[in-house]
Each structure stands twice: as structure tokens, then as C-alpha cells.
């Protein structure tokens, strides 16, 4: 093999690792956003004092779990599972 082929292979390995890190970072950011949205949704509604601590935590967990399900469905649709594209699913679920 000549040096340019080895350099090309080395650069492709680096780019592949960068893409994997970028996908992981996007997923972690989406999970963090789901958590922040769940907490802010309960605290900004002003019902945390009425419900109590335990019920507020349960509502936060339910909202976070819904966000995680949406992230998982989006990941499955990006991988090609399903009948059509996922745009119609998220439009129907009002998840823009």
C-alpha cells in the first residue's frame, strides 16, 4: 500500500469516531433536554405545591419517560424501521 492509501484509511477511522461521538452527544443532549422540560413543566405550572413532593416527582418522571419514548422512536425511524418516514408520526403526535 502506498502512503496516501494509509493516510486515507487513517482519516476515515478518525471521521468515523467523530461521527460516533457526535451521535452520542446529540443523544445525551436530547436526554438532558427531556429532563429539563419535565422539571420545568411541573414547576412552571404552579401545581407542585398543590400536589406535594411525591406526586410532583411522579409527574416529572412520566414526562421524562414520554420524552425518552419519543427519542427512542425517532432513533428507530432514523435507522429505517417502520413503513414510511417518521415525519407523519411526529406531526400527528405534535412533537415538532
pLDDT band at residue 8, thresholds of 50, 70 and 90? low
Q: Where are the alpha helices (DSSP H) in the chain?
A: 3-45, 48-51, 53-79, 87-92
pLDDT for 30-80, tens place per residue? 888 888 888 888 888 777 778 888 988 999 999 999 989 888 887 877 777
pLDDT of residue 94: 61
Quick count: other Cβ atoms within 10 Å of Cβ 28? 10
| 8 touches 37 (CB < 8 A) | no
Give the pLDDT of residue 82: 66
Separation between Cα atoms, residue 2 and residue 91, nearest integer Å: 51
Scored b (16 or more CB within 10 A) or e, 77-94 reads beeeeeeeebeebeeeee
Amino acid at each position: 500500500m502506498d502512503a496516501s492509501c494509509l493516510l486515507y484509511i487513517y482519516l476515515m477511522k478518525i471521521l468515523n469516531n467523530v461521527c460516533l461521538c457526535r451521535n452520542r452527544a446529540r443523544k445525551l443532549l436530547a436526554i438532558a433536554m427531556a429532563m429539563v422540560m419535565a422539571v420545568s413543566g411541573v414547576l412552571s405550572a404552579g401545581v407542585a405545591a398543590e400536589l406535594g413532593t411525591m406526586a410532583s416527582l411522579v409527574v416529572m418522571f412520566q414526562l421524562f419517560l414520554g420524552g425518552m419514548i419519543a427519542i427512542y422512536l425517532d432513533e428507530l425511524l432514523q435507522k429505517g424501521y417502520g413503513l414510511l418516514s417518521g415525519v407523519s408520526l411526529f406531526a400527528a403526535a405534535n412533537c415538532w
